[in-house]
Amino acid sequence: ATPTSIMVGTGKAAESGILFKGGEHLERTHALNAIVLDKTGTITKGKPEVTNFTGDEEALQLLASAEKGSEHPLAEAIVAYATENNMELVDVDHFIAIPGHGIEVTISSKQILVGNRKLMQDHQIDVGGAEQELVNYEIEGKTAMLIAIDGKYRGIVSVADTIKETAPQAIRELKEEGLEVIMLTGDNERTAQAIAKQVGIDKVIAQVLPEEKADKVKEIQDNGKKVAMVGDGVNDAPALAIADIGIAIGTGTEVAIEAADVTILGGELLLIPKAIKISHATIKNIR
């Protein structure tokens, strides 16, 4: 590999908004045969909005007040929805985030739980007839969360995030470059499958806890693959670091950008197949 051609390659990439941290990453990009993409903020825009709320006013007030303490995009969507509906938010006494499951909050000696089925199971909450409503949202690609107050099921809030317009084309091009494409998410299986279908991904690994994302990448590597990981979140950083090539979304968190080998500016997914093509063209010139 001549240093000059590598420099030309990374320079060309940089002009398009693909920032390699070093020439060796361009060489390793050439060898990739699998790519794992995070869902929220990577494949989707990461700007979710509430589409449905089932429950009474008190449930909405406590739900939104509880979520005010969370930095999760789902929480931001819920707070925005309550504010738009002129809901007065109240102060929180105690806040705990349960990664991958939801939140547990105390507000004037009431206990509020917001999160997925697992959170409700762990607290032995009977969600009664909510299951069918939950499933109906999930098959549409929405993320639905259950609300419980003082041990009683009180409602559902459903949130939708839209896919990036160029995602289907980017996925198609990645497949054309010979890569196996996999989606990785903490969200539930049904929602993940619905989003995957919209963008043309057939392999999904869902309900992955934040601390397990890196293990999943390692498993794919152990099956003999050279794996790229694409992500934007703090919880993607260990997976970005362990992957053969970590690709950070430029609009994502600083932590993800630091852990990655490559950053694509503006979160444009088409830059990923472009990076692969540049690596192929560069290495071909070398040989």
By CB under 6 A, name the binding residues for ligand ADP: 39-40, 67, 70, 72, 74-75, 100-103, 114-116, 143, 145, 185-187, 210
Torsion sign (Cα): 107, 76, 42, 235: negative
Q: Does residue 38 belong to the site contacting Mg ion (CB under 5 A)?
A: yes
Give the SS3 label for residue 4. helix
Q: Does 40 bind Mg ion (CB under 5 A)?
A: yes
| Active-site residue (options: 38, 161, 187, 261) | 38
26 binds, among Mg ion, ligand ADP, none (CB under 5 to 8 A by kind): none
Q: Which does 232 bind (CB under 5 to 8 A by kind): Mg ion, ligand ADP, none?
A: Mg ion
Structure tokens at 267: 């979160």
Q: Are 262 and 20 a contacting pair, CB within 8 Å?
A: yes
Taking CB under 5 A as the criterion, which residues in 224-243 touch Mg ion? Answer: 232-233
Asked if 217 and 34 touch (Cβ cutoff 8 Å), the reply is: no
Active site residue 150: no
Distance CA 14, CA 21 (A): 10
- In the complex, which residue's CB is closest to Mg ion? 41
Spatial distance between the Cα atoms of 2 and 31, rounded to a whole number of angstroms: 17
Out of Mg ion, ligand ADP, none, what residue 210 binds, judged by CB under 5 to 8 A for its kind, is ligand ADP
- Let me know: does 239 contact 208? Beta carbons within 8 Å: no
Total residues contacting Mg ion (rule CB under 5 A)? 5
Residue 284: what are its φ and ψ, rounded to 5°? Answer: -60, -40
Q: How far is the CB of 116 from ligand ADP (least distance, A)?
A: 4
Q: Do the beta carbons of residue 46 and residue 153 sit within 8 Å?
A: no
User: Closest distance between ligand ADP and the C-beta of residue 70, in Å?
Assistant: 4
Catalytic residues: 38
Can you give the binding site for Mg ion, defined by CB under 5 A?
Answer: 38, 40-41, 232-233
